[in-house]
Amino acid sequence: MSTIERALKKQGGKPVDSKLPADNIKQNKPKQNNNYIHIDIDMLAENNMVTNRTERSRINEEYRFIKRKLIINAFGKTSHLLKNPNIILITSTVPNEGKTFTSINLAMSIALEQDKTVLLIDADVVNPSIGHELNYQSTSGLLDYLLGTVDDIGEVIYSTNIDKLKLLPAGSRHHLTHELLTSDRMEKLTTELASRYPDRVIILDSPPLLGVSETQVLASLSGQGIIVVEESKTKTASISEAIKLLDPEMAIGFILNKSNEGKRREKGYNYGYGNYYGL
Ligand SMILES: Nc1ncnc2c1ncn2[C@@H]1O[C@H](COP(=O)(O)OP(=O)(O)O)[C@@H](O)[C@H]1O
Ligand SMILES: [Mg+2]
């Protein structure tokens, strides 16, 4: 049974998008064409991720809390103290602690704000995985633009069925990612992306900090950084080591992910969601 059929069954046959704000979602679009990626909202809901469904969910509430301080840092009175305050780096000490999960949830949550737009960039050039999580085919993106095989960045920025959310995939794999990310072209691109729209938040789903030099390059372009910490797993010494790699001028926060407190055993769901502290 397909996801849509399952959802229809659950709702007693009502159209699947009947609960969704009509102006915020376009259904029946092709999954992916030249400049469009369709995000499967049912799949996000099934994975207990942030969605634009109208009913209150715990994850939506948690990300409301998380995004508030980030938005104030990006657009509030003291935003001028940060370089590129609206660029938010999502990183962790080592892989698999939940960077991509956090990036997608945060992007969805901020895109639901009335007056904000979001560009979610798959900047984990070492292990790009937003495509895997959102179920779109690997496609050209950031690295192709940096290599010059794509001239106009607009060609690799994809609209989605969430009006205020756009995606920039990582693009073709390349062995010189460090050099590409430290290039003038990358510096110009981030400045341009950060300043083109005054209401835009840019989220960089990035590689881990320890042992991956590219992450520091991305951090140097970002005004804010979030370190995703996995409860009972991330080592305190690794966190200290990771923080030392970041610019002290950056606004740094933490998300405690997969917390025991948040476990949803009743749904057979083995992970919890983060408490947020810091910033
Ligand atoms: N809070 C969470 N609740 C449920 N699943 C999670 C949570 N955080 C991460 N995951 C899952 O754990 C796996 C690793 O997370 P991911 O975000 O891909 O890590 P990273 O990007 O840091 O390598 C993925 O399958 C993801 O869906
Ligand atoms: Mg990832």
| Angstrom distance (rounded) from CA 157 to CA 193 | 11
- pLDDT score of 211: 94
Decide: 257 in ligand 1 pocket, CB within 6 A. yes
Two tokens, residue 58:
């715990």
pLDDT tens-digit map of 25-53: 444 444 555 799 999 999 999 999 999 98
Query: Considering Cα of 6, then 36, then 61, then 277, what sign does the dihedral take?
Result: positive
| Angstrom distance (rounded) from CA 18 to CA 6 | 15
**265 has pLDDT over 80:** no
80: CA distance to ligand 1 center in Å?
Answer: 33
Ligand 1 pocket test, pick from 63, 91, 100, 109 with the greatest ligand atom count within 8 Å of Cβ, gives 100
Output phi, psi for 166, to 5 deg: -120, 155
Q: Which ligand is located closest to the Cα atom of residue 122?
A: 2
- pLDDT score of 233: 85
As a whole number of Å, the CA-based R_g of the chain is 18
151: CA distance to ligand 1 center in Å?
Answer: 33
Decide: 97 in ligand 1 pocket, CB within 6 A. yes
18: CA distance to ligand 1 center in Å?
Answer: 29
Residue with the smallest CA separation from ligand 1 atom 17 is 98
Output phi, psi for 262, to 5 deg: -90, 5
- Residue boundaries of the structural domains of the chain: 31-278
72: CA distance to ligand 2 center in Å?
Answer: 26
Lowest mean pLDDT among 91-95, 118-122, 199-203, 233-237: 233-237
Single-letter residue type at 16: V
Output phi, psi for 102, to 5 deg: -65, -45
Decide: 129 in ligand 1 pocket, CB within 6 A. yes
Query: What's the whole-number mean pLDDT along residues 129-154?
Result: 94
- pLDDT score of 33: 59
**279 has pLDDT over 90:** no
CATH fold for domain 31-278: Rossmann fold (3.40.50)
pLDDT tier for residue 139 given thresholds of 50, 70 and 90? confident
Decide: 220 in ligand 1 pocket, CB within 6 A. no
CA angle 239, 245, 248 (to 5 degrees): 100
CA angle 23, 50, 153 (to 5 degrees): 70
C-beta separation of 32 from 139 below 8 A: yes
Lowest mean pLDDT among 7-11, 137-141, 201-205, 211-215: 7-11
- pLDDT score of 55: 79
- Kindly list the protein residues that place their beta carbon closer than 5 angstroms to ligand 2, a single-atom ion: 99-100, 124, 129
Residue 26 vs residue 128, higher pLDDT: 128
Decide: 69 in ligand 1 pocket, CB within 6 A. no
Residue 34's CB: how many other CB atoms inside 10 A?
7
pLDDT tier for residue 241 given thresholds of 50, 70 and 90? very high
- pLDDT score of 183: 96
How would you classify the pairing of strands 87-92 and 165-168? unpaired
Query: What's the whole-number mean pLDDT along residues 256-271?
Result: 56
Ranked by mean pLDDT, the top range of 57-71, 107-121, 226-240 is 107-121
